[in-house]
A and B are shown apart, each in its own frame.
Chain A
Amino acid sequence: EVQLVESGGGLVQPGGSLRLSCAASGFTFSPFWMHWVRQAPGKGLVWVSRITSDGSNTIYADSVQGRFIISRDDAKSTLYLQMNSLRAEDTAMYYCARANYGSRGAGDAFDIWGQGTMVTVSS
């Protein structure tokens, strides 16, 4: 079964750090660009970050630029999101998602999503 399973969420104080993981199974992880998307409680989807298949290129939403780092370990078929200097507004369900159907990003769509891991930033 093709799936993504996130872990690492939890309660953290403002200014703290957290590392999320996303374990892929059921498909060959390495060729795919991967993304993180978040959703605050009761709110809409917000794109967070993307990493290319070889890990050489990353990009971030302005709201997390300089605080979050996306990375991947193809040997472990795992995607990561290191979150630093966390703020209350980072409270959200974090989803990892596989990009597919496009060509070097253009036309990509998220065809596989994990179940999400909840991050709560509060004192």
Chain B
Amino acid sequence: SYELTQAPSVSVSPGQTASITCSGDKLGDKYACWYQQKPGQSPVLVIYKNSKRPSGIPERFSGSNSGNTATLTISGTQAMDEADYYCQAWDSSTGVFGGGTKLTVL
């Protein structure tokens, strides 16, 4: 079965750029999306179709996808961005999530 791999944790200082990666076999041939989940809350879509932002998502969130790696980039990271982030893609019509990356802003 298809797998997406994420680092368990990433740390970033406030105001700096955070990069969260997601790897999978030929992931660049698929669409990747990203979700943010804060403790006790439902996930929120922050990036779809590799690099598109839904309405209401700040411009500091951006995404890319090429080769075997999709990347979520948060520019000028703020304390409110501290959360778990999950990548997701489709494989033969089934959904696949990465294991999640906990972003710590310190």
Which A residues are within 8 Å of any B CB, using their own CB?
35, 37, 44-47, 50, 59, 61-62, 95, 100-102, 105-111, 113-116
Contacts and interface: CB of A to CB of B under 8 A. Distances in A.
A47 B93 CA distance: 11
Contacts of B84: 44
Q: Sorted from nearest, which 8 A-B pairs have the closest CB atoms? A: A47-B95, A109-B48, A109-B33, A113-B42, A107-B31, A44-B100, A45-B97, A101-B48
Interface residues of B, number: 25
A61 B31 contact: no
Interface string B37-63: 100001111001100101000000000
Given A95-B42, A114-B42, A45 B86 contact: yes
SS of A interface (majority): strand
A101 B43 contact: no
A111 B49 CA distance: 12
A119 B88 CA distance: 23
Contacts, number: 66
A107 B48 contact: yes
B45 to A, nearest CB: 5
Contacts of B1: 62
Given A37-B95, A47-B88, 5 more contacts: A45-B100, A47-B97, A50-B95, A107-B48, A110-B33
Contact of A59 (B43, B48, B86, B94): B94
A115 B42 contact: yes
Contact of B31 (A50, A106, A116): A106
A64 to B, nearest CB: 11
Contacts of B95: 35, 37, 47, 50
A112 B50 CA distance: 18
Contact of A44 (B42, B45, B86): B86
